[in-house]
Every structure is written in C-alpha cells, then in structure tokens.
Amino acid sequence: MARRGRRKLVVPGAERAMEAFKAEVMRRQGYHVDPSRPNDVKYEVARSIGVPLKPGDNGDLTTESAGQVGGQIGGAMVREMIRLAQEQLARQPRP
C-alpha cells in the first residue's frame, strides 16, 4: 500500500510553501526544477544517481533505490532547514 496519500503536514495549507521550498533547495543543488511541477525533480535526481524511476508504477524498484532518491531530496531540504534555523538563532539578541 502506498503511504504517499496519508502524509499530512502539521500546518494546514502549508503544502504550496513546502513545494516551493523543495523547488528552491533542489534548484540550488543544481537540478532543473519546473516551478509548476516541483515534484518532478525526483526523476532528475533518480537519473543522476542511476535509479530507474519512472512516472506511474515503480513496483520493480527496491526500497533502497527509492530511499536513495528520497534521501537526496529530503536530506538537502533538512540541511537547508538547519542552516536557516542556525542563521535565525545567530540573529537573536543574547540575554
């Protein structure tokens, strides 16, 4: 069973902002991102690391291969979130 449909963000309505964030992060990583279809960057990531991801059914992919694609994208996003949080903390006045 695909889990994709069950994922929900904590903040209702934040989907567009997260998609825009993903697009910006992946663009900075050097990938071409169509702003109207930021999720399609996963195919470019997959090609770059040699994973045969295609639109539609990917039942033949191993969990490891799928995780490599998601890890590239999610890892880049998490690193950027940490960098942004560190910058924000550095700007706060110290007591």
**What digits encode the pLDDT tens for the residues 27-84?**
999 999 988 888 899 999 999 999 999 998 888 999 999 999 999 999 999 999 999 9
Maximum CA pair distance of the chain? 56
- Amino acid (one-letter) located at 68: Q
**Which residue in 61, 57, 58, 26 sits closest to 42, CA to CA?**
26
pTM: 0.78
| Exposed / middle / buried, residue 27 (Cβ in 10 Å: 0-12, 13-18, 19+) | middle
Instruction: Say what the pLDDT of residue 1 is.
Output: 40
Q: What is the dihedral of CA 11, 16, 18, 24, to 10 degrees?
A: -160
Pair of tokens at residue 1: 């069973």
> Which residues, 6 or more positions from 58, have their beta carbon under 8 angstroms from its beta carbon?
66
What's 55's DSSP letter? S
**What digits encode the pLDDT tens for the residues 8-20?**
778 888 888 988 9
